[in-house]
Structure 1
Amino acid sequence: MTRRDFAAFAAAPAVGAQPAAQIDPALIRRHDESVERLLRMQIADVKDPNCGGYADAFGFFSASTGGAILDTYVAALVCPASRFYKSNEVMQRAGLAAGYLRRKQHDDGTIDLYITNFHSTPDLAFTIHNVASAALLAKLNNLTALFGEMEPFLRKAGDALVRGGVHTPNHRWVTCEALSQMNEVMPDARFVRRAEQWLAEGIDIDADGQFNERSTTVYNTVSDKALLVTALKLGKPELLDPVRRNLEAMMYLVHPNGEVVTEISRRQDQYERAGMERYWLPLRYLAIKDSNGRFAEMARRVEPRGAWLSAYLRFPELAQPLPASAPLPEDYHKLMPAVEIARIRRGQMSASVLLNGNSRFFAMRNGECVVQAVRFASAFFGKGQFRPAKWERTADGYRMTQSMEGPYYQPLDPPRKVEASDWDKVRGLRPRSEVQKMEYRVEVKEAKGRRGGFTIEIAAEGTAGVPLAVEVNLREGVQVEGAAPAPGAQNASILKSGYAVARSGKDTIRFGPGFAEHSYTQVRGAEPRLPGESVYLCGFTPLRRVLEFDAPA
């Protein structure tokens, strides 16, 4: 940017920026802290081949960092309440980031995600979300020279977006968001046509309001934001409906402390811990648009960590006041049959019954005291881990079942030579004998007369005398009282009789009664012990035990 360009910008009023009174000053302070951090991290030496970027935790200089820098810098440059409003230094650094992006772009317009994807259109689309945001704000505020620095990257990216493919269901909507932003910044009918090609496939949302990947802390949020932005930029209000449905479903997938249920995810966030912060944009937008009090309450809760400045600058609607809050669901029993999960909340008690074939078929928490999983396995031929194959709703709960066989194999008939490498290939040709059978059944019910309590009946019948171990796994930091150390295993104990109490601060969960007919806890063929303390209850088949779990108020 020349001195003349900067002087013209410095003299011009901000366009597109909301009045400072309408944006939380704390958000602007946090944004300015991000600018300061990026100024320290960004390489400013023009002789360095990575000038304009910075290395990530792996030492990679990725194109995506250039997009994040631009989005952060330009939002500060055009926001009158920012300490970096019309900052010459930030303006120059933004130009370096644009140059870095151009150097990181392939001739075909794509970029690389070094940890997995190369010449990747989807990762280009993710980066375009930030770059097009910066370009729009630059264009609205007459930052002509800076826009010109970004334009070559955007034009090559546009060519890639209209022809490139995807890997995953959410990538379609990510690409549509990028195309809709590109069309706003530099209109081109190709962008709209390509977006409509992807949208013609229909949105991958099920009857329970979950997208195909069921990724409750990552790709749900990606899809919600992408569909919201595409709806607004391309004038397609029908795309807001799946966003609403997903947000409504998520109201029942939140624990009392704000953590999200992630057991249902089919992606990398399964079992990870995160909150609803990444849902902030669709929550706030639809709370205002629909006067939805529940969305408003959740938006208020996540805004301190979930809001970002450029969204306010790009979508003036967000500056309108939120409607009055309505209570979030805190007392319910909700079955989601398509997702195959039952969610139960009774105030501070939150429980999940996993019906989807997950070995962790039950999880429960009372405040900060967390039972991460209840599961079991027998020593049945090294394949005795219970993973429900079928489930049904009963009059007062849920029944899950699994059937297994453990055969022995006879010589081939007629006899034939078996090469060493063919052992597994011919197994199905052998006559079977001494076939052993195992039938598992689990029933989970809310306890009658014990609010916040459950009974879990575990039955294993068939071949007799098979060792079995039930595992009650506690989150790291949760202490257990009433169980004895398990021999030969770390962070493991056995509940021999009576009841154990799991404790985290003032919050407790009481469970039992225990049984210990043996001490074989690390069963061969079972899934590895989970992090945290595991309490085992050990018996032999045939087995039928009823366990109680209670969350005192």
Structure 2
Amino acid sequence: MLYPISIILKMRKDKAFMTHLTLANVLHALARDIEWDMQRQVMDENSPLYGTYIPLDSGLDDISHGGGTRFLASCGLLVVARQTHPDMAPATPATDTLLHRMSIMADYMLKAQRPSGLMDLRSTNYDSPPDTGFVVQLLCALVELGRGEPLLADVLAKVETFIRRAAPGMMTGGFHTPNHRWVIAGALAQTGTLFPDIDVRDAVQAYIAEGFDIDAEGTYLERSVGVYDAVTNRSLLLFADNWHDAGDIARAHTAVTENLTFNLHLLHADATAETGLSRRQDYGIRSVPVPLIATFLHSNAISPNPQFVRAAQWLWEKASSDEVSNLAWQTYTLLKFGEPAPSSASLPDHFIKHYPINAVWRVRRDQLSATVFGDVTRLMTLVYGAAELNSLKISQTYFGVGWFIGDSMRADGDTAVLRSEGQQKAHRPGYELPTGKPAPRDQWDAINAQRDWNPLPPALSELAITATETGFDLHYHTLDGLDQVAAQIALDFPAGGLWETEDTACTTQPGQVIFLKHGTGQMRFGNDVIEIGPGANAHMYQQMRHAEPPVPGMCRVLLTFVTPVDHRFFLRVFSGLQP
């Protein structure tokens, strides 16, 4: 049965089916996703695209792990669940329908597979070993659980053909990013277990010999709590499940445990994640990191950890229906290891932690969740219930090197101090001097780098941030640099909040700039408030030269100065009409 799209959209918005993290609820959510995906499969037998999956965002045939392979694996896992857990699996879509859809999808995948055995990620990577690795991980997971099920025998034979063709290309083709190494290693380890005649050992060992990119604080190189931490953790767990060396297995498990523990300390009170550390596309995006659910469950199955079980349950409970999708890995994990007993373990919600390797200082006090960053211009974020400060930035109009960047961070108890040296570019602040000899235009950059120059004092400054019971006290003061330089503190909030001062109130709009000239102001989001003060008024630059503009969808509150600056201000949080 195919539901009309209006009904499917309604079901996707219906949160009731997702209340608890159980196999039954995951399977029902998976079935709803499959119903949706069926409408994106080409069913015209006369079309050269017959059987493939067409995503909404591209209109191109897509056999990747986010498209056709995900659809095929999801259908197959639902069929497996009906055989192993008939009391939990939904009855629709019909099994015959699922098997037919899988078969024609597998046919198209074999047709789209390149001579190398690899496939294309149409949005960026072609003839791609790592993206084939993502695909093979899912296909191997299906083969692992589906072997021996007569209903799946024909489809799994096609899947096996795809995997066998893909293995040589994955072993020799290479990668782009840090996580790609573990995707390929995990996929090859799975392949070697399922098909022992394919010798993957040397290829896997070449990757593992590089060592896992986990640091002493629990972050991977990409620091991507919203996307790639889950990819790396899953890949290392799949590798460990299918490898022979006890030392390698133990190191993989340790890396996963340390990363998942670190990520628990990046979660806000609503289970969304602080992504300001990320070096990937989830940077600055506030959402519930649903992909971590499967890795929390998988890690717990290897080494029982009630806190990880509770984290998985909590992420599921807090995620919106739009965030709960791509459920193949959650389904695989629950089918393979079983449903863990509900956990009441406490999660980190009251702490102050300094992570010097990653230049980050985290504060959680129940609903309050704040982060201070070094090495970037986005110095601080703050979340309190529905209220959010997206960024605090400081800058001066000073030779293009007036951005405040925390070149160093020190922390002591409730206080963190960022120090900006003001020396981001060569020969700035200052002026180059003439060489007294020809300077050909095609050698301008090389000659400029060698010039003598007249230096001026850098925009050396510090920002101290102290956690209090009701928010934060901040102190910004300049330590060097010329006087009479325009400076600002910019506080960016999601537009749509209610801004209120003693004599003004307005609903904020995207791109709006508000000057807090004196006194205090409150940014209200429903019942939750972030209060700022006192203001400062030295100039009226709305878009000060060299200052970074707010990102789309934000409004900005400005405190303005001319140097030297020595300003103390606060951020207070409360709920209701007044503190």
Change (3 A) 1:75 1:373: same
Deviations 1:19-55 (A, max 9, x none): xxx9543322222222222322211223211111122
Note the 1:106-185 alignment, pairs <5 A: 106-142=114-150, 143-185=152-194
- Aligned partner of 2:462 in structure 1 is 441
Report if the CA contact (8 A) 1:224-1:282 is conserved.
yes
Q: Aligned with 1:426: secondary structure? A: helix
Change (3 A) 1:490 1:338: closer
Q: Aligned with 1:234: secondary structure? A: coil
Report if the CA contact (8 A) 1:484-1:494 is conserved.
no
Give, as a single letter, the amino acid of the residue that structure 1 aligns with 2:389. Answer: V
- Aligned partner of 1:517 in structure 2 is 538
Note the 1:3-14 alignment, pairs <5 A: none
Give 1:336's match in structure 2, choosing from 355, 372, 378. 355
Q: Aligned with 2:234: secondary structure? A: helix
Q: Aligned with 1:161: secondary structure? A: helix
Q: CA deviation at 1:289?
A: 4.5
Deviations 1:452-492 (A, max 9, x none): 3211111123201001111011123222212799xxx9411
Give 1:186's match in structure 2, choosing from 195, 207, 228. 195
Change (3 A) 1:44 1:136: farther
Q: CA deviation at 1:520?
A: 1.3
* Distance of 1:359 and 1:37 partners within structure 2: 41
Change (3 A) 1:40 1:307: closer
* Distance of 1:455 and 1:344 partners within structure 2: 13
* Distance of 1:408 and 1:310 partners within structure 2: 58
1:480 equivalent to 2:499? Answer: yes
Change (3 A) 1:334 1:82: same
* Distance of 1:440 and 1:421 partners within structure 2: 37
Change (3 A) 1:310 1:279: closer
Give, as a single letter, the amino acid of the residue that structure 2 aligns with 1:40. Answer: Q
- Aligned partner of 1:362 in structure 2 is 380
* Distance of 2:421 and 2:22 partners within structure 1: 59
1:327 equivalent to 2:346? Answer: yes
Change (3 A) 1:288 1:132: closer
Q: Aligned with 1:433: secondary structure? A: strand
Give, as a single letter, the amino acid of the residue that structure 1 aligns with 2:434. Answer: P
* Distance of 1:374 and 1:321 partners within structure 2: 41
Count of matched residue positions in the alignment of Structure 1 and Structure 2? 523
1:228 equivalent to 2:237? Answer: yes
Give 2:109's match in structure 1, choosing from 90, 101, 107. 101
Deviations 1:233-286 (A, max 9, x none): 225541211111111111111001111010001111110122131111121233
Q: Aligned with 2:115: secondary structure? A: coil
Change (3 A) 1:541 1:551: same
* Distance of 2:390 and 2:486 partners within structure 1: 23
Give, as a single letter, the amino acid of the residue that structure 1 aligns with 2:60. Answer: F
Report if the CA contact (8 A) 1:125-1:175 is conserved.
yes
Pick which of 395-404 and 192-201 moved more.
395-404
- Aligned partner of 2:290 in structure 1 is 277
* Distance of 2:301 and 2:146 partners within structure 1: 27
Give 2:253's match in structure 1, choosing from 235, 240, 254. 240
Deviations 1:42-97 (A, max 9, x none): 11223211111122211221221231121011122232234258722221221111
Give, as a single letter, the amino acid of the residue that structure 1 aligns with 2:210. Answer: E
* Distance of 2:301 and 2:187 partners within structure 1: 24
Give, as a single letter, the amino acid of the residue that structure 2 aligns with 1:530. Answer: V
TM-score when normalising by structure 2:
0.85
Q: CA deviation at 1:550?
A: 1.1
- Aligned partner of 1:55 in structure 2 is 54
Pick which of 385-394 and 248-257 moved more.
385-394
% identical aligned pairs: 26
* Distance of 1:108 and 1:72 partners within structure 2: 26
Report if the CA contact (8 A) 2:373-2:406 is conserved.
no
- Aligned partner of 2:15 in structure 1 is none
Note the 1:193-204 alignment, pairs <5 A: 193-204=202-213
Report if the CA contact (8 A) 2:354-2:361 is conserved.
yes
Q: Aligned with 1:442: secondary structure? A: strand
Alpha-carbon RMSD: 2.3
Give, as a single letter, the amino acid of the residue that structure 1 aligns with 2:555. Answer: E
* Distance of 1:152 and 1:101 partners within structure 2: 10
Change (3 A) 1:537 1:86: closer
Change (3 A) 1:168 1:375: same
- Aligned partner of 2:13 in structure 1 is none
Give, as a single letter, the amino acid of the residue that structure 1 aligns with 2:387. Answer: C
Report if the CA contact (8 A) 1:278-1:306 is conserved.
no
* Distance of 2:413 and 2:75 partners within structure 1: 58
* Distance of 1:306 and 1:245 partners within structure 2: 26
- Aligned partner of 2:366 in structure 1 is 347
Q: Aligned with 1:385: secondary structure? A: coil
* Distance of 1:384 and 1:160 partners within structure 2: 49
Q: Aligned with 2:460: secondary structure? A: strand
Q: Aligned with 2:558: secondary structure? A: strand
Give, as a single letter, the amino acid of the residue that structure 2 aligns with 1:416. Answer: K
